[in-house]
Amino acid sequence: MSTQTVMLIDANKLFREGLSRLLLDVSFQVTAEFASVDEAIGEPAVQADLVLVDPGEDATALTRIGPLRQQRPDTPLVILTGSLDARRLTQALEAGISGYLMKDMSADALAQSLRLVMMGEKVFPTHLAELLLSGQVQPQPATEITALRKGLSQRETQILRCLIDGDSNKIIASSLGITEATVKVHLKSLLRKINAVNRTQAAIWAMNNGLGQAEVTQAANSDGPATIGVATA
């Protein structure tokens, strides 16, 4: 397995040193360290395969993530922080991050999550679904929703709404008046279009992009914890 280089941004030097040693054991090598996002922005020539950052607890800290992301548009950026706050999570999502991870996760889960990010996955905490369903994390603007939905048929959109409700293929087929085989065909197509690998990811995608907001007040899913490409601690 090839080693991926990491730019690590965290105010705590001891934490940086410890994480650097841990990551080296799982094929990630920290090649650049910074105490703040501003320091990293000030060194645009520094290259890395992945940016791992704790923006800190400052209320304005996450506003610097956008410029850092713009400076490195082709480099996955993952937030690794000690708290899951709806407002901060929304800011991070708007900045186009590839993942939002918690510092209390296990080393194995962190390693697996980072590997998924390097494969192009979006990785977020299991708490994300709860935040989405409670309305604490707001869906994206209508213009972005329209762009993201491009290519989805009316039937696929209906199935996405059913997934938000946690409906099984049998229930979806009954409610839409189609066969279970047809549901499977539509499900396979919509998963491909929105780059989701399972119905859980599809349901979270739908919630995060405004589908079913008027129709649904609470939802569940049949695939276990709602995660996007991550093995939890």
Least confident of 28-32, 128-132, 137-141: 137-141
> pLDDT: is 133 or 211 the higher one?
211
Mean local confidence (pLDDT), 23-28: 92
Domains defined for the chain, CATH in brackets: 4-125 (3.40.50.2300), 141-208 (1.10.10.10)
Q: Which sign does the torsion angle of CA 216, 217, 220, 226 carry?
A: positive
Which tens digit of pLDDT belongs to each residue from 37-88?
999 999 999 999 999 999 887 767 778 888 998 899 999 999 998 877 667 7
* Predicted confidence (pLDDT) per residue in 91-133, tens digit: 777 788 888 888 888 888 888 889 988 988 778 766 665 555 5
CA distances from 120 to 42, 86, 166, 195 (A): 27, 24, 26, 10
Among positive and negative, which fits the CA dihedral 205, 206, 209, 215? negative
Among residues 119, 118, 121, the alpha carbon closest in space to that of 48 is found at 118
Encoding tokens for residue 129?
């679904």
Tell me how many degrees the CA angle 77-50-210 measures, rounded to the nearest 5: 25
The pTM assigned to this predicted structure is 0.59
